[in-house]
Each structure stands twice: as C-alpha cells, then as structure tokens.
Amino acid sequence: MTTIKPGPTPSLAPAQKLTLYYWMRLTRTFDEHMVALWKQGRGVGGTFSQRGHEAISVGASYALGPADVVAPMHRDLGTYLLRGLTPRRIFANLLGRAAGVTHGRDANLHGIGDLSLGIFGFISHLPHSLPAGLGAAMSFRYRDEPRVAMSFTGDGGSSAGLFHETLNLAAVYNAPWVLIVENNQYAYSTPIRQQMKVIGIAQRAEAYGIPGVAVDGNDVEAVYAVVRDAVERARAGGGPTLVEAKTMRMLGHAIHDGAEYVPPELLAEWEVRDPVLCYAARLLADGVAGQAELDEIERRCAAEIEDAIAFAEASPWPDPATIGEGVYAP
Ligand SMILES: Cc1ncc(C[n+]2csc(CCOP(=O)(O)OP(=O)(O)O)c2C)c(N)n1
Ligand SMILES: [Mg+2]
C-alpha cells in the first residue's frame, strides 16, 4: 500500500484550533437545526445529514489557500461555510428563496457553489466533481499557477468507473489535485462490505502510482495535517494524492431516511468518537480553552444559525418570471 507518512503534525496556534472548533460547531448547529426544521414540516428541499463528517469537511478545506479551488460533495457543509458561503445564503437556498445560492432553482445542497469563493457548485451525479476538480488542476498546471484543486467523493462514489479514470489521468498529468474520499461505511443503504473487497480505499492509489493515505476522519487536526501535506506536495509539483478519511454517517442518508438498516452497535461504537465533542474535550484537556470560551462559541453559532433561519423564512420566493434565468448559458 502506498501509504505516505504525514509530516510532523503542524503546530497549530490556539487561535487556529479554536477556529477549527468554531467551523465544526457551526456545521453541527446548522445540521441540528436543519433536521428540526424539516421534521417540523418547515423545510422545502432535500437535505443530507452532516453528523460525523464535520472534521473532514472543515479539516480538509482549512488546508487550502485562498486562491485554491474546491469541488465539495453533499456532506461538506463545513467546507461551504469555511470558504465563505454564509448560513443565510445556504438556508435561503434550502428553503427555495430568491436570496439562496441558486435563487430558488434547487432547494438543496446540490448545485450550491460560488466561483468567486473558489467553490465549484456540487454536481449531483457522483463522482463528477472529480473530473471537474481535475480540470481546474490541469488548467493551473498549464498556466504555471501555484494553485491546487481539491475534490471530494464518498465510498460509494469511489466504486464508479469515473473515479478510476480520473485518478489515472490525474496521475499521468501529475496534476496539482487532492482527492478526499469520505468513507462513512455506507452508500445510502449499501454497507461498504457489499461494494468492495479491499480493506481500505487509500490502497487504490497504488494502482495509479500516486500516494494514498488513510486518516481518522473524526480527528480534525489529523485530517488537516495529512491534507496540508498533500496540498503542499501538489503545489510544489509533486502531483496528486488520494486521502481516505474514515468516519461514520451518524444519521440517515437524508432526513427522510430513518436508516433502520444500520446496526445500532456500529453507531454506538462511533458515537463515543464524535468529532465535535471529542475536539471540545481535547481543547479543554490541553488547556487551549476553558468551558466558558467553548460555551461562547456555541452561543455564537446558535445565534448565527437562528438569524439565518429567520432571514430565510422572511425572504421572498423567486419571481416566476425569472425561471429561465441562470439555467442555460447564453
Ligand atoms: C450517478 C449517481 N447515481 C446515484 C446517485 C444518487 N445518490 C446520491 S448520494 C448516493 C450515495 C453515495 O454514497 P457515497 O458516495 O458513499 O456518499 P455518502 O452519501 O455516503 O456520503 C446516491 C446513490 C447520484 N447522485 N449519482
Ligand atoms: Mg458513503
């Protein structure tokens, strides 16, 4: 297996650690409110649960520079938030309002993106965010720009043919591209043992001659360390890396899915490794922050999300006369 050893864990300043915690906590609070809103019948579009994925979406995207680009997927709310899509714009999108990212075209995390923030709109077809990200990476290489592109997919997405074609091309072109595979044990209701024989998805990198590394996807600092190494190697001309971040999808595929097919023992095993709660405990134990400081972050996140929901619910619906706008390129 082509496992690369992560370099020394970057020494993160206390302020950076609290920044990581803030983005994870904001993602968690957003997710909890989204679930509640939809259960109350106030939601409009489709939703995908984020619980369990916070350390991956936040830790990986924190490793990017401002000029880099990212092609996230449907579990990467933390990436959208960290890169600058505001909770107001995303909630307005989920509620189908004109102020939403897609102006009411798609009341989902699908399609949300903003090229001015370096975020590709999520492409619903899996894993099409891979060749899209690779295309950006190749353009950076051709223009000799020191920029990196990052794509995300899931364990299920890694079984599609396009995954393999994209990895092969990325390797041959030595593209400045980093691929994050979020292995959350399930692709909708299909457990990983029913879709692949290999133990680790990172092993697949070897077939293409590029480094592959597996990381604990519930440890935000570990994710950041491994991905930062991969990003810096790509930026220095060292080519692509496949990072497999292992976690567990703690809720259903989306809110309509009760996930009765997931064994409760498996969930219990992962519950104690909750990425947000474990990081809070670590910050306290290491003396990075006191309980009052963490409580304050939690309060700030709750206030931001409540404001976003109030904003979205008070926002106008899109004008039907604009229905054809922004759908086709002129
Ligand atoms: C080509 C394609 N087929 C089916 C779907 C429907 N679909 C959306 S998410 C999903 C499961 C994907 O599983 P995985 O890649 O493991 O990501 P996860 O949802 O577990 O994070 C499916 C089947 C899709 N979006 N695209
Ligand atoms: Mg999955």
CA angle 150, 155, 160 (to 5 degrees): 85
Question: Which backbone phi and psi does 250 adopt, to 5 degrees?
Answer: -85, -15
Query: How far is residue 261 CA from its own chain's centroid?
Result: 24
- Structure confidence at residue 195 (pLDDT): 92
Measuring from atom 26 of ligand 1, which residue has the nearest CA? 125
pLDDT digits (tens, 9 = 90+) for 78-111: 999 999 999 999 999 999 999 999 999 888 887 7
Task: Pick from 57, 76, 124, 126 the residue to mutate for probing ligand 1's pocket: most ligand atoms within 8 Å of its CB.
Answer: 126
161 C-beta closer than 6 A to ligand 1: no
Report the pLDDT averaged over residues 44-68: 95
Instruction: Quickly state the pLDDT bin for 323 (edges 50, 70, 90).
Output: confident
CA angle 268, 153, 163 (to 5 degrees): 130
- Structure confidence at residue 1 (pLDDT): 44
Domain ranges across the chain = 14-311
pLDDT digits (tens, 9 = 90+) for 179-219: 999 999 999 999 999 999 988 999 999 999 999 999 999 99
Instruction: Using a cut of 0.75, tell me whether the model's pTM lies above it.
Output: yes
Atom of ligand 1 nearest to the CA of 124: 25
User: How far does the centroid of ligand 2 lie from the alpha carbon of residue 54, in Å?
Assistant: 14
Contacts of 7-11 with CB under 8 Å at 24 or more apart are 7/225, 7/229, 9/221, 9/222, 9/225, 10/224, 10/225, 10/228
CATH topology of domain 14-311: Rossmann fold (3.40.50)
User: How far does the centroid of ligand 2 lie from the alpha carbon of residue 74, in Å?
Assistant: 10
